[in-house]
Amino acid sequence: MSLEEKKKLLSNSILDGEEDLSRGFTDECLELGADPTSLIEESIKIALDEMGERFPSGAAFLPELILAGDAAKAALEIIIPKIQEDDSEAVNKGTVVIGAPFGDVHDIGKNIVGAILTARGFKVVDLGTNVPPSEYIDAAKKENANIIAISTLLTTSLPFQREVIQILHDIGNRDQYFVIVGGGPVTSGWTKEINADGYGWSGNDAANLCLQLMDDKQKPPLSEPVVFGAVG
């Protein structure tokens, strides 16, 4: 069986919530030479994006969402150490506060981004899931963060990405932090509409986005968002 076929089986095992199969197909893909980061983008993210579309439409329910998340975590437990082995770079690139917004209990997307950012040399402060807008700002102040990253799988949680930015405006702190967004329902159009500073389609895109924001020596907020990955 080819690597591409194994990647497809890995995606299907995540959608089906099969943790043991997910672990097995992950090992097999890596043994066949799959790049760890591309395996996340080409198998895990595809499955989670599909589940993210099924759940709000009623084609999937919360237990299926949780099982898919657990199966994805099982794969990531194998993949993330490989990324950290392969991509470890100098530390102190900056500090990123990350979380899934209020109403979203799905943590896989932010876990992927957080792992890749850590491997790229960022300090990552993970707030977890179901994070109220004010908590992002409190953590950013406490940690002296450079970037606030808000990742959501659910369309219903999109307004809370906007709310974080609005609160920063209201308290006069919008110029203190870059705010970036991502997740299955997020598009470059939405990023621009809410006046975020950037959008990363994948975990790797988000990491490249953070590197560019820190390297460009620009100050937030940006007049136009920086977009990495798919557009829409």
What Rg, from alpha-carbon coordinates, does the chain have?
17
Cβ proximity of 144 and 164 under 8 Å:
no
Share of the chain above pLDDT 90, in %: 62
Report how far residue 109's alpha carbon sits from residue 111's, in angstroms, rounded to the nearest whole number.
Answer: 5
Fold of 3-87: 1.10.1240
Listed range (27-41, 76-90, 159-173) with the worst mean pLDDT:
76-90
Any idea how long the chain is?
Answer: 232
Q: Specify the domain boundaries for CATH 1.10.1240.10 within the chain.
A: 3-87
Q: Which of 37-51, 159-173, 180-194 has the lowest mean pLDDT?
A: 37-51
Amino acid at residue number 16? D
CATH 3.40.50.280 residue ranges in the chain? 95-228
pLDDT of 175 reads 97
Name the class of domain 95-228.
Answer: alpha beta
What letter represents residue 122's amino acid? F
State which H helix or E strand residue 154 sits in: none
Average pLDDT, stretch 28-49? Answer: 90
Mapped onto helix, strand or coil, the DSSP state of residue 192 is: helix
3-class secondary-structure state, position 170: helix
Q: What is the pLDDT of residue 83?
A: 78
**109-123 average pLDDT score:** 83
Q: Do the bridges between strand 123-126 and strand 95-99 make them parallel or antiparallel, or are there none, so unpaired? A: parallel
pLDDT grade for 130, boundaries at 50, 70 and 90: very high
